[in-house]
Structure 1
Amino acid sequence: MNALPPGPRWLRPLNFFQAGLTPPAPVLARLAARYGDPFRVSYFSRPVTFTGNPEALRAIYTASPDCFDVWGGGFIEPVFGATSVVVISGDRHRQDRNILAPAFTGPALRADGETMAAVAEEKMAQVDVGQPFRMLDVTQRITLDIMIRVVFGMQDAARITRTRAAVLELIESLHVILFLFPSARRVLGGHGPWARNQRAVDALSALLREQMRERRASAALGADLLGRMLAARYDDGAAMDDAQILDQLRGLLFAGHEATATVLAWIFYWLACEPAVGARVAQEIADLGPAPAPEALAALPYLEVVCKECLRLYPPVVDPARVARAPFELLGYTIPAGEVLRASSALLHSRPELYPEPGRFRPERFLERKYSPFEYIPFGGGARRCLGAAFAMYELKVVVATILRRHSLRLLGAQPVAHARRALSLGPRGGIPMVVQRRRA
């Protein structure tokens, strides 16, 4: 078979900028409605095939990892660096995943649960009752401190404060132009978005190198993720060098901080918008008694499907791309070698035959049926599925339940909150304004 998927020869400039500067789902939905799924367009100056078809995803995710390379590493380098597990492929990708994976397993999660709950309590205690605040600001502070303490292993208050400031400056430096136009990555005499980004990268790297030097000088490297990377050895006996460790830490920081904070904010938004859902979650938490352990919070079934429904609507992994190393057969079409395949959660999660009324927030759908790994992909799939998926789900449930145990929240404003572009990620426009109505003892 040599047929190419149907689609427009070129993505119109308006659609290109819509997909780059706003959430891409509406553009993809229009193209799928006109051409079918999969469809093929010229995107970022090269052909790209998009699909949200479960059978196409099955073919992609069950294929050998050697069938594909990563595409777009250059575009996301300002966030993930050049050697993060997110952007590499082949044998080094496999080895790096094996090094990092144990930090996100069940035993490690249980050890991190107390930290997650304590940080959530601490940050919410800083919000005054009756005073408006942006929920996204709070969830970002929560997830950032969790990552600093759990992933970086930092406990010193002064260093946590310095690292927090460095991370926030790095995030603020990620101007969307740096992703759409890599040619804009020029220092220009110390001015402009790229110069600011590079200063932020250097400042954070200096703090992390300081932490690494102290760990190496100590008697024990530690069992957290940083300690694991310092102790790790590749198949040839070589250790991870500092540049690799820094890229991994930055990549995991972004995925575990910004993306998780955004989903958390959406969860609180929908719990406030849907009083019946919010009341059911609150009762489920209350039934655990006055001092539930983090594992008990993470095991709550209705809270879990609320998180799953938010992840369906706002997946943290959006349309990850692969490059076919050789011609790849896909539902009767042939994707030529060197061309790009994008598994689109936006297309998949809006298929009405899988998700009736796909635009509606309805957690019960996950109680009514079980979705396969090719029908529900908030964390991607196959050999490149997000390493921190279990960590993120655990964190979502522990943080939400910890906050709801003590805080009654109300949404401010009657207008629906729009999904908007935030540099490399997507998030709620306006940050979701809320108020704490009362705080329980």
Structure 2
Amino acid sequence: MKLPQGPKSPALLQNIQLMGDFLGYLEELGKRYGDIYTMHFMGRPTVFVSNPEGIKKIFTNTKEITASGELNKLTAPVAGSEGIMVLDGLRHKHMRKLLMPGFHGSTIQAYGERICELTQKVMNEQAIAKPFLAYPVLEVLTLQVVLEVTLGLHEGKRYQQLRQAIPSVLEFAESPLGEIIVSFPFLQRNLGRWSPWGYFLHQKQQLNQLLYAEINERRQKAAPGSANILSELIAARDELGEPLTDQVIHDLLLAPIYAGRDAAASAIAWSLYWIHYLPAVRDRLLAELDSLGDSPSPMNIVELPYLSAVCNEALRLYPTQVLTFPRRVESPVELMGYELSPGTVLVGNIYQMHQREDLYPAPKEFKPERFLEKKFSPYEFIPFGGGARGCLGAPLVLFEMKLVLATILLHYQLAIANQEPVKPQRRSINFPPTSLKMVMLGRRQIQDQTQRFATGSVNK
């Protein structure tokens, strides 16, 4: 059985090129080899697929192609050995089912007003006429949101301690040095707090102590019906009908906390950039928001079609996952004309999928209207991955994106302060605009809606 063609350079050189210019290298390989190719990735030959039919087969053919948690085991030091990414089979399915309600329906709707309040609180801290880096400010906001949604925490000593501990762990894990050490277990040597791995373990221990303390206290004063993920996990039962252990709860919380900060902050930052870079997009969006009146409800906001299209287009250009989690071929299977043998590793190339000219004409341009003119399948537009390893927090990220953007646009006047081009910078699996500088011009007054609607063009 023959793998699809791909670069012939040594594996180490391929990975150096990928790490040096991740998105650029994916684009280069796509132009050279098309929508299926093989390269060395994370120490093994991996088939990259950016064809909708190929993606569909990877997501749906769960008999011959499995989403093995073993392929994600390198994440365990950061996301926990009982975390959702490393679990398999019925246990993985059951734990996803336990987590799912916390990111859907009435649970996240209950936080609508709070997300708007937190947004105003964070934005009010920005000085008038003084440029600020947008992404770190949004990280502060999204971390507060995720602490309230996942843990049910508000102001207080532990809340403030977690606001410090979580970024400390993530900053190491997402740094180039941290990624190398996490990727190569033989480098994970604890030589004390002044060694890289020793420092990480110390930071992780501090975070663990805070989370375990909160789990223990919550068990003592469990509040049935509380709208947060921690309370629901404490009340939940495993596959055998037993309460979840503290470690299982702890590890299940880590991925939602980490992703809830980074993925949401990156998506909102890119949206802010495009909205303010293209005045016609901003004008049309403001017209739509103003049509709701002076005090729109969160649920009316999230249903706005053009706002939804803007968020989707931002996620298309820079999805929260540029690659799906890896899959493994378990028995011989045909994929896009290739007979793949057991053991072959497959990855859905989301970034390249979202750049397909046949699906998204002029793919480098920001055109929200494409999502008003066409409904894309879950194998054509997949900013949060899909199948058994799709991101559970996707509904919360979209909900949060819309409310944060609406609150900022309705209440503040911002402008881009950068003179130089804003480019994506890799932070683990995210590519946020870390260099994006914005400036607060002042508070905004609701303007005449008729005038606003007259400027509804989306051409720059």
With the shorter chain as reference, the TM-score category is: over 0.9
Per-residue CA distance 1:198-250 (angstroms, 9 max, x = gap): 11111111111111111111152534100111111122112222222112211
Q: Equivalent residue for 2:135?
A: 136
Secondary structure at 2:110 match in 1? helix
Residue type of the partner of 1:328? V
Q: Percent identity?
A: 35
* Partners of 2:412 and 2:441 within 8 A in 1: yes
Name whichever of 421-430 and 351-360 sits farther off.
421-430
Secondary structure at 1:131 match in 2? coil
Residue type of the partner of 2:153? M
Residue type of the partner of 1:92? R
Per-residue CA distance 1:297-325 (angstroms, 9 max, x = gap): 11111111110001001111221211222
Are positions 1:394 and 2:399 aligned together?
yes
Per-residue CA distance 1:102-138 (angstroms, 9 max, x = gap): 1112111211111211111111111111111111121
Q: Equivalent residue for 2:196?
A: 193
Structure 1 residues 191 and 219: CA distance shift in structure 2, 3 A: closer
Secondary structure at 1:212 match in 2? helix
Q: 2:63 & 2:327 partners in 1: Cα distance?
A: 10
Residue type of the partner of 2:16? F
Q: Equivalent residue for 2:354?
A: 349
What are structure 2's unaligned runs of at least 5 residues?
446-460
CA displacement at 1:36 relative to structure 2: 2.5
Structure 1 residues 71 and 30: CA distance shift in structure 2, 3 A: farther
CA displacement at 1:359 relative to structure 2: 1.0
Q: Equivalent residue for 2:7?
A: 8
2:218 to 200, 215, 227: 215
Q: Equivalent residue for 1:264?
A: 268
Residue type of the partner of 1:342? V
Q: 2:345 & 2:321 partners in 1: Cα distance?
A: 17
CA displacement at 1:341 relative to structure 2: 0.3
CA displacement at 1:10 relative to structure 2: 4.5
Q: 1:339 & 1:243 partners in 2: Cα distance?
A: 32
Structure 1 residues 246 and 256: CA distance shift in structure 2, 3 A: same
Secondary structure at 1:413 match in 2? coil
- Give runs of aligned pairs for residues 26-425 of structure 1, distance below 5 A: 26-64=24-62, 67-68=65-66, 69-70=68-69, 72-174=71-173, 175-180=175-180, 181-182=183-184, 183-221=186-224, 222-320=226-324, 321-425=326-430
* Partners of 2:3 and 2:338 within 8 A in 1: yes
Per-residue CA distance 1:331-368 (angstroms, 9 max, x = gap): 12122212210001111001111111111111111112
* Partners of 1:305 and 1:367 within 8 A in 2: yes
Q: Equivalent residue for 1:17?
A: 16
Residue type of the partner of 1:119? L
Structure 1 residues 44 and 440: CA distance shift in structure 2, 3 A: closer
Per-residue CA distance 1:396-436 (angstroms, 9 max, x = gap): 00111011111000001232211111245322142x11101
* Partners of 1:11 and 1:43 within 8 A in 2: no
CA displacement at 1:78 relative to structure 2: 3.9
CA displacement at 1:267 relative to structure 2: 0.7
* Partners of 1:322 and 1:342 within 8 A in 2: yes
Are positions 1:437 and 2:441 aligned together?
yes
Q: 1:72 & 1:439 partners in 2: Cα distance?
A: 49
* Partners of 1:312 and 1:378 within 8 A in 2: yes
Q: 1:65 & 1:92 partners in 2: Cα distance?
A: 17
Residue type of the partner of 1:208? L
Q: TM-score, normalised by structure 1?
A: 0.95
Name whichever of 189-198 and 389-398 sits farther off.
189-198
Q: TM-score, normalised by structure 2?
A: 0.91
Q: 2:91 & 2:396 partners in 1: Cα distance?
A: 23
Q: Equivalent residue for 1:427?
A: 432
Structure 1 residues 335 and 263: CA distance shift in structure 2, 3 A: same
Name whichever of 96-105 and 34-43 sits farther off.
34-43
Per-residue CA distance 1:274-310 (angstroms, 9 max, x = gap): 0100111112111111111111111111111110001
Residue type of the partner of 1:168? P
Per-residue CA distance 1:356-400 (angstroms, 9 max, x = gap): 111111111111211111111101111221111111111100111
Residue type of the partner of 1:383? A
* Partners of 1:3 and 1:332 within 8 A in 2: no
CA displacement at 1:91 relative to structure 2: 1.1
What are structure 1's unaligned runs of at least 5 residues?
none
CA displacement at 1:29 relative to structure 2: 2.0
* Partners of 1:21 and 1:421 within 8 A in 2: no
Residue type of the partner of 1:32? G
Q: 2:176 & 2:331 partners in 1: Cα distance?
A: 32
Q: 1:184 & 1:63 partners in 2: Cα distance?
A: 37
Secondary structure at 1:124 match in 2? helix
Per-residue CA distance 1:69-114 (angstroms, 9 max, x = gap): 1354233334322221122221111000110111112111211111
* Partners of 1:10 and 1:41 within 8 A in 2: no
CA displacement at 1:269 relative to structure 2: 0.7
Residue type of the partner of 1:380? G
Q: 2:139 & 2:229 partners in 1: Cα distance?
A: 20
Structure 1 residues 340 and 393: CA distance shift in structure 2, 3 A: same
CA RMSD in angstroms, aligned pairs only: 1.8
